[in-house]
Amino acid sequence: MMGKVYLIGAGPGAADLITLRGAEILKRAGVVFYDALVHPDTLALAPQARLVAVGKRCSRISTDQRFINRNLVEAAAKYTVVVRLKGGDPMLFGRAQEEIEALAAAGVACEVVPGVTSALAASAEIGVSLTRRGVSRSVTFATPRVGEGEDTSDWAPSVASADTAVLYMAAGQAAEIARVLEGQGMSPATPVIIVESASLPGVRQIGTTLRGLAENTDLQIHGPALLFFGEVYRERARALIAAALLEEEVADELPQRRALPR
Ligand SMILES: C[S@@+](CC[C@H](N)C(=O)[O-])C[C@H]1O[C@@H](n2cnc3c(N)ncnc32)[C@H](O)[C@@H]1O
């Protein structure tokens, strides 16, 4: 008897953002192959399972996709419930298709359990709807990232033409991306928000404009991050820019304040 492989979306990070269905399957899992961005609290939902890290984190060591596919097929021969736990939703920038096809080719049953993709969790943090009546009727999820050996991607036109756009795996090249989008005719005044570590304790939002993004080559982002573009962010970006300026002013004044006699 072959086991079944579940591709489960772990959500954006916070352990309570996994679905009830995903959590229930984790409780029964014999083995869990998990991504680098899966939080330890989420793994704790499978205390009985063998945990195997097959992490993928930009520019850090990652496990080869063919190795993951082979492991999933082999695990199905040993365990009744095999879980492939992916950050966010498995069907968005998660290489789910390769795993689904490898499992189908080996005759292994597979089921996908959706998760909260990071763009939706980050939108909740920003507190601004991706769509808005009369302002935004189209949303693009895109990435400029191309894997090794892949053809170049024409990601920019769809981002430049969407009312609202979210870029995954892009924060490391943000300035270059902004220049490409300006070249596509996107206004330099387009509001931009960067959300780092959505749903996690270190969550951070940065407000800017497309021109601001092009000029800032050192964003100091260390966690996973998304770039949001669009008119819907005008107010929020303005408030974030004002708050950051105020913080800078206070920081500049602090040493003088400390130096003042009491
Ligand atoms: C390989 S993609 C996986 C996306 C995932 N399948 C999803 O639905 O969110 C990894 C990228 O997702 C984004 N990401 C994942 N978790 C995030 C978080 N908690 N906050 C912000 N961005 C996140 C970042 O752009 C990161 O580089």
Does some domain include residue 258? Answer: no
3-state secondary structure of 156: helix
Does some domain include residue 259? Answer: no
Based on the domain organization, do 145 and 108 belong to the same domain? no
% of the chain residues with pLDDT over 70: 94
Q: What is the pLDDT of residue 256?
A: 60
Q: Which atom of ligand 1 is nearest to the CA of 12?
A: 19
Based on the domain organization, do 23 and 90 belong to the same domain? yes
**Tally of CA atoms within 13 A in the half-sphere of 105 that contains its CB:** 11
Task: Give dist(CA 87, CA 66) in Å, integer.
Answer: 19
- Residue range 54-80: average pLDDT? 81
Task: Give dist(CA 132, CA 128) in Å, integer.
Answer: 9
Q: What is the pLDDT of residue 249?
A: 84
Q: State whether the beta carbon of 35 lies less than 6 angstroms from ligand 1.
A: no
Q: Which amino acid is at 237?
A: A
Task: Give dist(CA 124, CA 118) in Å, integer.
Answer: 10
CB atoms within 10 A of CB 20: 7
Does some domain include residue 87? Answer: yes
Q: What is the pLDDT of residue 146?
A: 86
Instruction: Report the CATH number at residue 59.
Output: 3.40.1010.10
Ligand 1 mutation target, pool 16, 35, 37, most atoms within 8 A of CB: 37
Res. 92: pLDDT tops 50: yes
Q: How many domains does the chain have?
A: 2
Q: What is the pLDDT of residue 216?
A: 86
Res. 257: pLDDT tops 80: no
Based on the domain organization, do 104 and 125 belong to the same domain? no
Ligand 1 centroid to 147 CA: how many Å? 16
Q: Per residue in 187-230, pLDDT tens?
A: 999 999 999 999 999 999 999 999 999 998 788 999 999 999 99
Given phi > 0 = left and psi -120 to 50 = alpha, else beta, which region is 93?
left
Most confident of 1-5, 61-65, 66-70, 206-210: 206-210
Pick the range with the lowest mean pLDDT from 38-52, 73-87, 144-158: 144-158
- Residue range 252-258: average pLDDT? 63
Based on the domain organization, do 239 and 137 belong to the same domain? yes
Based on the domain organization, do 99 and 130 belong to the same domain? no
Ligand 1 centroid to 139 CA: how many Å? 17
Q: Which amino acid is at 122?
A: A
Instruction: Report the CATH number at residue 217.
Output: 3.30.950.10
- Residue range 102-127: average pLDDT? 98
The model's pTM: 0.92
Q: Per residue in 37-57, pLDDT tens?
A: 899 999 999 999 999 999 855
Residue 147 pLDDT level (bands cut at 50, 70, 90):
confident
Task: Give dist(CA 174, CA 221) in Å, integer.
Answer: 11
Residue nearest to atom 22 of ligand 1 (CA): 225
Based on the domain organization, do 131 and 109 belong to the same domain? no
Does some domain include residue 261? Answer: no
Q: List the alpha helices (DSSP H) in the chain.
A: 20-28, 40-43, 65-78, 96-105, 118-126, 156-161, 174-183, 210-215, 234-259
**Domain end position, chosen among 113, 135, 158:** 113
Res. 168: pLDDT tops 50: yes
Q: State whether the beta carbon of 228 lies less than 6 angstroms from ligand 1.
A: no
Question: Do 58 and 79 touch, CB atoms closer than 8 A?
Answer: no
Task: Give dist(CA 238, CA 110) in Å, integer.
Answer: 46
Residue nearest to atom 4 of ligand 1 (CA): 93
Does some domain include residue 262? Answer: no
Does some domain include residue 255? Answer: no
Q: State whether the beta carbon of 144 lies less than 6 angstroms from ligand 1.
A: no
Task: Give dist(CA 250, CA 255) in Å, integer.
Answer: 9
Does some domain include residue 43? Answer: yes
Based on the domain organization, do 108 and 122 belong to the same domain? no
Based on the domain organization, do 146 and 98 belong to the same domain? no
Task: Give dist(CA 218, CA 173) in Å, integer.
Answer: 10
- Residue range 225-239: average pLDDT? 98
Residue 184 pLDDT level (bands cut at 50, 70, 90):
very high
Q: What is the pLDDT of residue 254?
A: 66
Q: State whether the beta carbon of 225 lies less than 6 angstroms from ligand 1.
A: yes
Res. 259: pLDDT tops 80: no
Does some domain include residue 32? Answer: yes
Residue 62 pLDDT level (bands cut at 50, 70, 90):
low
CB atoms within 10 A of CB 41: 12
Res. 239: pLDDT tops 50: yes
Based on the domain organization, do 165 and 191 belong to the same domain? yes
**Domain end position, chosen among 113, 141, 175:** 113
**Domain end position, chosen among 113, 132, 153:** 113
Based on the domain organization, do 44 and 8 belong to the same domain? yes
Rounded to a whole number of angstroms, the distance between the first and last alpha carbons of the chain is 79
Based on the domain organization, do 158 and 240 belong to the same domain? yes
- Residues classed as catalytic: 35, 56, 169
Q: State whether the beta carbon of 199 lies less than 6 angstroms from ligand 1.
A: yes
Based on the domain organization, do 79 and 55 belong to the same domain? yes
Rg (C-alpha) for the chain, rounded Å, is 21
- Residue range 170-179: average pLDDT? 95
Q: What is the pLDDT of residue 261?
A: 45
Query: Domain limits at 103?
Result: 4-113
